[in-house]
Structure 1
């Protein structure tokens, strides 16, 4: 049995998720999962670097430190698994995004977490740098997970919208008709802004279960200001990140609403995540929404999402056979397999690339 490891750390920069999986047709079997948190000092340095507060020396050092942690996550996963190392074909590592600038003459997407270190420490072939080939072909380099969604989550009986509530929210629209294209894009912020505001105001890295937001009320005037950002009306293909939606973005808007309580800002940010996702979804009477990502652990966020979409059915991806917390790392295990088998990993209609491309750089064992 061939197995694959996927490593993922998202825009929330809270840690690394590792998954060991095998693939059979359109079925995924999960053999093990493991997560590690970033040490707080490293997380703080990553946050600063993502806002351009780091020298080249610091960015180089962060690339090594995160590479070592990605390797540690993979090794810990292997140790707790009953799968033979010889059966692991490759590791797919997304890396840690520091900056994502998909437009302009010097467009780029920067992920750190040196894949060479992962390959060296684990002794397993590692695939990294998934975004740059798509960008070289004129694409946004993101989102890349829709190709995985299409392969494993397609249906010929219902239109499906996969909503990932990570640091940034993105959707993949998978029509039941084979004649209709799959589309996908980043809708805007999800957990990243809520986490950043919670950390700044309370010292806690995130609002556990949305409890703090539940103490507040939506400030409609502040919400209107937030929704006026041009990104939300921009047509796809489009992608974004913390270089756009960050703490300074929130604070700049809050300055115009000085009477708004901190918990009201948190509640408004949660509503922003819901509204921007719902407004940008295609409409279909046969649609079912399947949700994944860390946002599924926020009961208030899920409740507001379900109410905003009613009567459309909202469930998580466990209904499709994959735990909602492990969809993204599983996708990068599959993308590594695509690379090793010399198959495309992007959807050009999603990223805007000139066509399908084999993604990633291979670091042999």
Structure 2
């Protein structure tokens, strides 16, 4: 998979097995490779709010598929001793079509045929579209995995993914779970850093720019006026909304702020909107993963904004934080080939649960297992 930061392709390998009402996940490791610079630049140029052409979409679909195939093949060889039963590809999200709170469509590109050809494995892809067709948001799809994973923890635990967009899954012991995108995770931070350094930097390494800056209260207030934050869940958003032109429009002519202050302010915005979402959902602890946890300034601001709510990482629960979302999509693909639904309607807003994705046959044709008799209700992470 590659997330909304679109900086690299990650592949995680897992051994998955059904045991009674549990799905056992043994993490086998992760490999990662940055997008080739030319490909990343072409993708960045084509993403909203920019316009593009069908020619460029075709080229990107092919080249991203080839990049995914190379990393998947490496994962099979290095992490699975050359043997794997299934590859699951999230693809690269390039557009999430939202109007008036309703998701009409979603597009992830990166042709799975290249992955099937390179690995010989069947490939599950296009996982979000079926939930959208069933009236859902198509996100956060990791919510079913989070609900199974957090089941049995005391209180009201919440799983937080700090990717380009931040999303939250809250799983109370009683009552329905809830999941939604809280707003920007790293999206506005990355956009500000790239624009204000004239492209020399793509992200705030170690949160150093934000750490040297000061939060501008007036700018923060204007950013917090964004209507998305007040919408009730389920809700989703993306870089279609949170991008550099959006931030530039909020910066007034009077905001002659140093770059460090702008980066500090949008970092505080992420921490504040996540913390507000945690409180509104009644969560009693937060278990974070995603690239944002490697930003110590963001994590410090988030701890402060959460006040007495404990903040942990998924590593503390045995699930490597750098690969947590990739492991979640591995689970979704596993559920698909078992004939099991991969969504929680209370989390995505869909009319019903759905078996997700499309399947591209591998080199040996397509032989699906017998459908599982019962769906797992909990996820157990098994140490290697």
Could you state the TM-score of these two structures normalised by the residue count of structure 2?
A: 0.89
Q: Deviations over 1:12-53 (max 9, x none)?
A: 110111000012434421112100101222112111211242
1:70 to 68, 71, 78: 68
Contact 2:157 2:284 in 1 (8 A): yes
Deviation of 1:79 (Å): 2.1
Secondary structure at the aligned position of 1:255 is classed as coil
The 5 Å alignment of 1:198-237 reads: 198-202=193-197, 203-237=200-234
1 CA distance for matches of 2:99 and 2:135? 10
Q: Which secondary structure does the structure 1 equivalent of 2:91 belong to?
A: strand
1:84 Cα offset (Å) = 4.3
Could you tell which deviates more after superposition, 282-291 or 131-140?
A: 282-291
Q: Does 1:194 align with 2:193?
A: no
Quote the residue 1:3 is aligned against.
none
Tell me how far 1:89 sits from its aligned partner.
2.0
Paired residue secondary structure (2:250)? helix
Counterpart position of 2:79: 81
Write the distance in 1 (CA, Å) between the matches of 2:36 and 2:252: 32
Aligned match of 1:12: 5
| Preserved contact between residue 164 and residue 292 of structure 1 (Cα < 8 Å) | yes
Q: How many positions carry a matched residue from both structures? A: 354
Extract unaligned runs of 5+ from structure 1.
Answer: 1-7
| CA-based RMSD | 1.6
Q: Confirm or deny that 1:263 pairs with 2:260.
A: yes
Equivalent residue for 1:93? 89
Shift of 1:158: 2.7
Distance between the aligned counterparts of 1:225 and 1:363, measured in 2?
46
Alignment of structure 1 residues 283-322 onto 2, 5 Å: 287-322=284-319
Greater Cα offset, 247-256 or 285-294: 285-294
Tell me the CA shift for residue 310 of structure 1: 2.2
Unmatched 5+ stretches in structure 2? 363-384
Deviation at 1:257, TM superposition (A): 4.1
Structure 2 distance, partners of 1:285, 1:252, is 33
**Quick one: structure 1 residues 82 and 173, their matched pair in 2 at CA, closer, same or farther if it must change by over 3 Å?**
closer
Aligned twin of 1:22: 15
- Is contact 1:146-1:184 (8 Å) kept? yes
- Using a 3 Å threshold, how does the CA distance of structure 1 residues 286 and 254 change in structure 2: closer, same or farther? closer
Change (3 A) 1:76 1:234: same
Structure 1 residue 106 displacement after superposition? 8.4
Q: Deviation of residue 255 (structure 1)?
A: 2.9
Q: CA deviation at 1:267?
A: 0.2
Contact 2:105–2:129 (CA under 8 A) maintained in structure 1: yes
SS in 1 for 2:272: helix
SS, match of residue 94 in structure 1: coil
What does residue 327 of structure 1 align with?
Answer: 324
For residue 375 of structure 2, what is the aligned residue in structure 1? none
